[in-house]
Structures are given as structure tokens and as C-alpha cells.
Amino acid sequence: MTTPDSVQGLDLRRVQLVRKAVLLVAILLVVALAAITQSIGGETEWHGGLETLGMASMVVCIVGRTWCSLYIGGRKKAEIVDRGPYSISRNPLYVFSFLGAFGMGAQTGSATIAGLFVLIAVLVFAATVRREEAWLADAFGPTYAAYVARTPRFWPDFSKWRDQETIEVQPRFFLTTLRDGLVMLLAFPLFEGLEHFQKIGWLRVLFSLP
């Protein structure tokens, strides 16, 4: 028999699947744009510096998302997690994902494409968050309302930091989050490969981007 809770759970999973599909399509379109463009001036110091900053952002993203998973893994549908990173932001996983999106795009050496990656992430995650918040409000009522009232949706408020001495970790969720984060690092060989193909003439550069 299907219960209201199971229906809500299925709806939440459906939202996540749609989010991943939209993200994939959007990222593929931006990768296609990167294949026919180059950063203005070619491989300048700015180009290399942006790539380095992007790599650092991806590392911070991977570490941050994995840290968040220690608190939220397996608990999202069972309780309101409001300790650690979730005490200063209701969606720290997504905040770190914004950094990761910038880092991936920055591997092109183009601030424009890095900005497009961030914009895609913000738009997709903002839509996802609205659906998740509706589900959480329905599932947890006043408890979630109180959490919303004291905790920012995205931008962290470090003055509200609260933690606990011990947490119960579920390795499966920790490892899944780590694996998903490491996939971001594929942006480096991907965009380096595109640049190489442009240099040898396999890909034609149509215009330059800042």
C-alpha cells in the first residue's frame, strides 16, 4: 500500500532525477560552446591563473560536500539536520556545488564559461530547493519552519554555528558523495583535450570569450 510519506519520497527522488538530467544537458551545451571558443589572448597568465583558481575551487567543493555528507547522509527524509554546516546554511551541499561549478568552467580559462557553469548550477539548484523546501515543510511542519527562520537558505551565517561532539556516519553515503565529487575533476582533462584538438586543427575556433 502506498502511503503519503512514500509518495512524497518518490516525488523528492523524481525532483533529484530531473535536476541531474537538466544539469547534464546544460553542461553538455556549455562544453559544446567551449569546443568552438577560446579565451581572449589564448594561454595568457590570466588563463592559467583562472584554471588554477578553478582547480582549487573544485578541491574545496569535493572536501566540503564530503564533509556535509557526514551530517546529512541518510537523514534528509528522517529528520531536520541543523548541526555542523547545516547550522549556518540550509543547503551547504549546494553552496559547495556552486564552487565546483565555477571550478569546472574555469578549466577553460574563460571567465564567461565559468560564469555560465555557475549560472546553470544556481538556476537548477534554486528550482530544486523550492521543491525540497515544500516537501520538508509538509513533512516536518513547525520544526522545519523554526529551522528556516534561523538559518539562511544559501549564504552561510557563521555566527549561527552549532555542532555536536559525535555524529553517526553511514559510509555508503559518504563514499557516494566523494565519488560524485571526484567526477568534477574530469573537467581538467576534458577541457585540456578540447584545447589540444583546437591547436591541431581538429576543432575550429569560431570566436573568443573573456
Give the domain ranges of the chain.
4-209
Nearest to 184 by CA among 75, 105, 89: 105
* Contacts of residue 124, Cβ cutoff 8 Å, sequence gap at least 6: 19, 22, 23, 26
Segments of the chain scoring below 70 in pLDDT: 1-12
Residue 76: predicted pLDDT: 75
Residue 11: predicted pLDDT: 63
* Contacts of residue 33, Cβ cutoff 8 Å, sequence gap at least 6: 113, 116
Helical residues (DSSP H) of 36-155, grouped into ranges: 45-72, 92-106, 111-140, 142-150
Residue 207: predicted pLDDT: 87
pTM of the predicted protein model = 0.88
Pair 68, 106: CB distance under 8 Å: no
Residue 135 CA to residue 120 CA, distance in Å, equals 23
